[in-house]
Chains A and B, each alone.
Chain A
């Protein structure tokens, strides 16, 4: 067999050589050279999540050999000042100094443009910067990361096109855009934003990020379901009584009062994170592990959820807003006393829903979703409750025979636990529920990589599996819009209706008397 010159493979957007030494070498390396442009690089998200993720990718040697990073934001920085800013941000998050030799090498690849998103000439400066880096190969592949408030997304997209930085203007490499959530603030604004985006980028160039999907356990939901045979036969209405999905936080709105007061729990968490978790639990096995095969199945789940009629909204949803209370031993102010929150705000800081998926597998099984701030415990999980035993054979009369429960824990400790009943040792037939627990930290002896690290790497690789497709975003808005409309039009006069540090509003227990305690 003749020794080959490298073969080519590609997705129509970029062509890469097949390296004969890569086969069987398990690395996470991104092989395409590329430059990431972070719009909003002086903001909180970049500082807390994105630049630490970039450094961590460098530390693990996952970044491509030719890599560039350009910060693009309003704050005035020179390149050196921005590098210092990045270094401090990384060290603050790590709690220790960076590895100097590696940082110095990475820092050489970082630059900054002080920019106004309204100013066309600043985008032309960006174009020149990218073109000057083409020689190394990095500048021809471009990842535009919108770490800015959603209100400026359309402006940036339009400016990219005007400056010739759109994919059509870059025939030598790929151009992708990463859009932070929320994608729109309601169905109409999401459609308007999509209309702007699709003037410039086609769907497989748009990476809508939902950082929940980058968490290890979220990805493990599919492994649990489709890499095992024991769960699939019972994964349906025949055995499952109900599904609870919880995303509870102890934090309040912190410094995000202005944003949150216009968003609320339904927009901020349920419409994206929580519905995405629901889709992973409920979807049919995809035909393959390809991004589109998976995203097709997720979309089918959303299609099978009937949005509520306005008259049913109050019977299938509960909203809440926290008053003052005690969280973690500390006094916590009421939501309406938080900075940048209106004193008469009607924004919900807690939302709970009961949804039904109208398909063959899930008909009749309630899916209970809840998310809230200033709750008793920080906890995100999916709990699948199985039907009670049909006939009691064991156990003393006083013994509670609990339902089997499968819990996928997303945070703070990522893992899976299964609850089942066992005989208590002794002469009597006492039965007690025990839990078999798998914890990622101890099970594999490794700490899961932060979600942003994974998602940033995937967007550079061109793997869209963990990003949300437009049809799913649109459908998720369609599901929550009737609730948003009713909640917006009818003020809740009971607000605040739960104390900070509590389990949430009492009304939630009417929606579901069996919420797992926080």
Chain B
């Protein structure tokens, strides 16, 4: 018997629903695990925004040492009909062993409705994460926030290889605007012809996973393989040196530069307008500088995207595996 009485919690939810007759249309269970006290309230408030928008049952597992336990329900009412009903349970779970945690969460899930885990824990090898994964079809992590982000990427790659979840890493999802910017260079056929001649890749970012994901993504798409410490080789045998500089705010990318002997492709934040990314191609061939807005996506939108449109994305898997291979090549 754990310190948490799930029957009592579910009764409390039923009681609240009774006050609001209507149609409950919960479409997903969302389980969020948080073990960083500094981020706890922020994540809870962001999840509340998410929960208010969608008919979900959200179970927040507070592993920050607090003993809080609360239950909330919310609904949207138009005329006399309740349209959506969302429920939120926050539980202090420090006292629970991993198998007890699994049992508690299992009992609190709406049966026969999908389950997504948002793991905002520091360590992906935590046994509790393993227990929770067994209950879910979708997992969302943020390697960039892990205590050891490089280890987290490796653990995620192992999980991806062994288990069949729809899986997303927020560190990777944040890169989409940058991937798009870099891809833009090569929408131009003349510039795309330079791809086999690339010899250097430089990335400046505020934390590691973003840089490794970007390098891994490029390598997997262009069939570059690791062939030395931070060196990749393309199918023609040309070596591409990879230089990663950690600088600036975590989870932000500042520039991506690709060089061949003839020209340089530079995508970088505009120092005078940090919400713009400017693309320049210099050398031969060259292209006029062009700036585009960097769509900076917030946490709720990223989680929403990961949970509501769960994917088994081979491009992500390729980037993850190759990012880990580049990490390994550094010894």
B293 interface neighbour in A20, A65, A102, A439, Cβ under 8 Å: A102
A99-B291 Cα distance, complex, nearest whole Å: 13
A118-B25 Cα distance, complex, nearest whole Å: 61
- Taking CB atoms and an 8 Å cut-off, the chain A residues in 10-41 that contact chain B are 16-17, 19-27, 29, 31
Indicate whether B184 reaches chain A with its CB closer than 8 angstroms.
yes
Number of inter-chain CB pairs below 8 Å:
107
Question: How many of A's residues come within 8 Å of B, CB to CB?
Answer: 37
Indicate whether A312 reaches chain B with its CB closer than 8 angstroms.
no
Indicate whether A81 reaches chain B with its CB closer than 8 angstroms.
no
B83 touches A19 (CB 8 A): no
Residues of A within 8 A of B301 (CB): 445
Closest beta carbon of chain A to B23's beta carbon, Å = 5
Indicate whether A490 reaches chain B with its CB closer than 8 angstroms.
no
Closest beta carbon of chain B to A9's beta carbon, Å = 12
Residues of A within 8 A of B179 (CB): 21, 25
Residues of A within 8 A of B22 (CB): 434
Indicate whether A202 reaches chain B with its CB closer than 8 angstroms.
no
A105 touches B291 (CB 8 A): yes
- Residue in A closest to B289 when the chains form the complex, CB atoms: A105
Closest beta carbon of chain A to B64's beta carbon, Å = 28
Closest beta carbon of chain A to B87's beta carbon, Å = 17
A443 touches B235 (CB 8 A): no
Indicate whether B273 reaches chain A with its CB closer than 8 angstroms.
yes
Among B176, B183, B218, B304, the most chain A Cβ lie within 10 Å of the Cβ of: B183
Residues of B within 8 A of A2 (CB): 235-236
A24-B313, A29-B184, A102-B293 are contacts. A5–B235 as well, Cβ < 8 Å? no
Residues of B within 8 A of A422 (CB): 23
- Taking CB atoms and an 8 Å cut-off, the chain B residues in 114-142 that contact chain A are none
Query: Interface segment, B28-36, B189-197, B199-207?
Result: B189-197
Contact with A along B48-70 (1 / 0, CB 8 A): 00000110000000000000000
A25-B183, A442-B76 are contacts. A20–B235 as well, Cβ < 8 Å? no
Contact with A along B289-325 (1 / 0, CB 8 A): 0111101000001001000100001111000000000
A25-B176, A101-B273 are contacts. A436–B295 as well, Cβ < 8 Å? no
B183 touches A442 (CB 8 A): no
Residues of B within 8 A of A16 (CB): 189
Indicate whether B8 reaches chain A with its CB closer than 8 angstroms.
no
Closest beta carbon of chain A to B284's beta carbon, Å = 16
Among B184, B273, B276, the most chain A Cβ lie within 10 Å of the Cβ of: B184
Residues of A within 8 A of B183 (CB): 19, 21-22, 25, 27
- Residue in A closest to B83 when the chains form the complex, CB atoms: A437
- Residue in B closest to A24 when the chains form the complex, CB atoms: B315
A442-B51 Cα distance, complex, nearest whole Å: 11
B83 touches A20 (CB 8 A): no
Residues of B within 8 A of A24 (CB): 313-316
Indicate whether A449 reaches chain B with its CB closer than 8 angstroms.
no
B180 interface neighbour in A23, A29, A425, Cβ under 8 Å: A29
Residues of B within 8 A of A3 (CB): 195-196, 222-223, 234-236
Indicate whether B182 reaches chain A with its CB closer than 8 angstroms.
yes
A65-B287 Cα distance, complex, nearest whole Å: 10
Indicate whether A399 reaches chain B with its CB closer than 8 angstroms.
no
- Taking CB atoms and an 8 Å cut-off, the chain A residues in 163-202 that contact chain B are none
Question: How many of B's residues come within 8 Å of A, CB to CB?
Answer: 46
A442-B85 Cα distance, complex, nearest whole Å: 12
- Residue in B closest to A437 when the chains form the complex, CB atoms: B83
A61 interface neighbour in B76, B192, B196, B295, Cβ under 8 Å: B295
Residues of A within 8 A of B188 (CB): 17, 65
B186 touches A20 (CB 8 A): yes
Indicate whether B21 reaches chain A with its CB closer than 8 angstroms.
yes
B184 touches A101 (CB 8 A): no
A435 interface neighbour in B53, B81, B189, B293, Cβ under 8 Å: B81
A21-B183, A21-B221 are contacts. A61–B176 as well, Cβ < 8 Å? no
Indicate whether B84 reaches chain A with its CB closer than 8 angstroms.
yes
Closest beta carbon of chain A to B295's beta carbon, Å = 7
- Residue in B closest to A422 when the chains form the complex, CB atoms: B23
Indicate whether A59 reaches chain B with its CB closer than 8 angstroms.
yes
Among B53, B186, B187, B314, the most chain A Cβ lie within 10 Å of the Cβ of: B187
B81 touches A425 (CB 8 A): no
A23 touches B221 (CB 8 A): yes
Residues of A within 8 A of B193 (CB): 5-6
B235 touches A61 (CB 8 A): no
- Taking CB atoms and an 8 Å cut-off, the chain A residues in 78-122 that contact chain B are 99, 101-102, 105
Indicate whether B330 reaches chain A with its CB closer than 8 angstroms.
no
- Residue in A closest to B21 when the chains form the complex, CB atoms: A425
A65 touches B53 (CB 8 A): no
Residues of B within 8 A of A59 (CB): 293
- Can you report 28 A-B residue pairs in the complex whose CB atoms are below 8 A from each other? A2-B236, A3-B195, A3-B234, A3-B236, A16-B189, A17-B189, A20-B222, A21-B179, A22-B183, A24-B313, A24-B314, A25-B183, A27-B176, A27-B183, A59-B293, A60-B293, A61-B180, A65-B184, A65-B290, A99-B293, A102-B291, A105-B290, A105-B291, A425-B21, A435-B83, A436-B23, A437-B78, A442-B76
Other contacts beyond A1-B223, A21-B183, A60-B293: 18, CB < 8 A: A1-B235, A2-B235, A3-B195, A3-B223, A3-B235, A5-B192, A17-B187, A21-B222, A25-B183, A25-B315, A59-B293, A61-B180, A99-B293, A102-B293, A105-B290, A105-B291, A436-B23, A443-B54
| Pairs A-B, 4 closest by C-beta atoms | A24-B315, A17-B189, A21-B183, A6-B192
